[in-house]
Chains A and B, each alone.
Chain A
Amino acid sequence: MDFWRVPLDIDAIQVPRGIVTIFEDRCKGCGYCITFCPRHVLNLASRFNVKGYHPPEVIRADDCVNCRFCEIICPEFAIYSTEASPDSPASVPCSCDTIKET
C-alpha cells in the first residue's frame, strides 16, 4: 500500500521490522496472508506441503514491518510474525522460519 504523503517526521520514525514464521504443514493454501500483506512480503510457494497445498513463502523478508496481519487473518494458526531486534543491521535480511509441523 502506498502512502499518500511522506510523513514530516519520517527520519525520526523507526519502522519496525518483523520475522515471519510459517508452519508450512498447517497451511490449507487459502492465500489470504499473501493477498492481504500490505508489504507484499509473501508469495505462493511452488512446492506442496503435506496436505497437498501450496503454502506461502517469504520473498521480501526485509519489507516486513511486523504488522501481524498475516498472523491474524490466517484461519489455520499457520503463520505469525515477531519483531526483529532493532539493532540487527538492515543490510542483513531477516530470516524466515519455515517449520515442518502440523
Chain B
Amino acid sequence: MADHLKKAGNKQVHPLDDMVRRDRMPHIWCPGCGIGTVFSACLTAIKSSGIDLDKVVMVSGIGCSGRAAGYTNLDSFHTTHGRAIPFATGVKLANPELKVIVFSGDGDLFAIGGNHFIHAARRNIDITVVCVNNLNYGMTGGQAAATTPEGSLTTTTPLGNPERPFNLPLLAYAAGAAYVARWTMLHIQDLTESIKEAMVKPGFAFIEALSPCPVNYGRRNKEKPLDTLTMYRDKTIIKNGASPLELDVDSRKSIILGKFVDIQKPTFFELYEKIYRPAE
C-alpha cells in the first residue's frame, strides 16, 4: 500500500490532497481548462522540492489563474490585478527565508502587470513566476490579451486580433531573468521539473505554461480542448537552449518548448547585502 494511503488510515486521499484546501474544492476552473493541471504540477514541484512547506508562499493576481493562491494549503495571497509580483517582492525582501512563488495568468502578469514583471526580472528578485498562458482573458469572458495571437477571435477582437502578441520568454530574457522555460500543460513532467528547478535556484525565474481555455478562447477559435492538447503534442518541439528570438507562439509554425535561460547572477538581496551591509 502506498505511503499516503497508510498515513490517512486507509481513507483514500489523492497524493496532493494535503497541498490543497479541500474545503474550498471544487475549484472554479471550467472543464478542460488547463490551469488545474499547471497548478497540480506546481504543487507537485513544491512538495517534491523538499522545502519546508511552512516557508513557501504563493502569491497570485486576478483572473482565473489568480484563484490558485486560494486553493493551496500554503501561506497564500490573492492580491490586486497585476500586482502579484510587487507584492511578492515585498514578501521576499522582508523575509528572504521564504520561498515565494507567483502563480498567475498572462493577462495579469503581462498586460496590467507587465511593468512589474520586467522590473522584478531586471532586479533579479529571487522569486519564481509561473504564468499560465491561455492566450486570453478567461475570467471576464474571453477578451484579447497581450498574448492573443494575431488574427484570433475574442470578444474584443470580433473580426480578428490586429495586435501582435508578446513572445514571453524573449521578454523575460531581455529583462534579465535568471531562468526562463516554456512548457505546455501536456508536458507535465518537464513543467514540474522546471518549476522545482526554478524554486531551488536563486534569482528571478519565469516559467510559461501554455494551457487551453476551451470555453472562452477555444470556442471562438474552433478549438476543442482535445484539439489544443493534440496541437501541444504534435506541433511543439523541445529545444533546450533555443534562442529566445525564435520563441513566438504562432499557429503557422511549431511552438518551441524547453529551458532557454539558466544563469547564475547575484540577486537583488545578495547585492543589497553586499553593498549596504558588507561583513565587517
On A, residues with C-beta under 8 Å from B are: 21, 23, 26, 28-32, 35-36, 51, 53, 69, 71-78, 80, 82-83, 97, 99, 101-102
> What is the 8 Å Cβ interface bit string for chain B, positions 88-110, against chain A (1 contact, 0 not)?
00000000000000000000000
A-B contact pairs, 27 of them (CB 8 A): A28-B26, A28-B30, A28-B31, A29-B31, A30-B31, A30-B225, A32-B37, A35-B229, A36-B186, A71-B14, A71-B15, A72-B40, A72-B44, A73-B186, A74-B37, A74-B40, A75-B29, A75-B33, A75-B35, A76-B36, A77-B14, A77-B16, A77-B36, A82-B2, A97-B12, A99-B12, A101-B12
Instruction: For the complex of A and B, list the 7 residue pairs with the smallest distance between their C-beta atoms, beginning with the closest.
Output: A75-B36, A28-B31, A82-B2, A30-B32, A72-B188, A77-B14, A75-B37
Q: Complex formed: what's the CA distance from A72 to B15 in Å?
A: 10
Q: Complex formed: what's the CA distance from A39 to B272 in Å?
A: 53
Please tell me if B34 contacts chain A, counting CB pairs below 8 Å. Answer: yes
Q: How large is the interface on B (under 10, 10 to 19, 20 to 34, 35 or more residues)?
A: 20 to 34
Contact A75/B25 with A30-B225, A82-B2 known, Cβ cut-off 8 Å:
no
Contact A80/B229 with A28-B31, A30-B31, A75-B34 known, Cβ cut-off 8 Å:
no
Q: Complex formed: what's the CA distance from A21 to B37 in Å?
A: 18
Which residues on B sit within 8 Å (CB–CB) of A99?
A: 12
On B, residues with C-beta under 8 Å from A are: 1-2, 5, 12, 14-17, 20, 25-27, 29-37, 39-41, 44, 185-186, 188-189, 192, 225-226, 229
Closest A residue to B41 by CB, please name it: A72
Judging by beta carbons under 8 Å apart, are A80 and B25 in contact? no
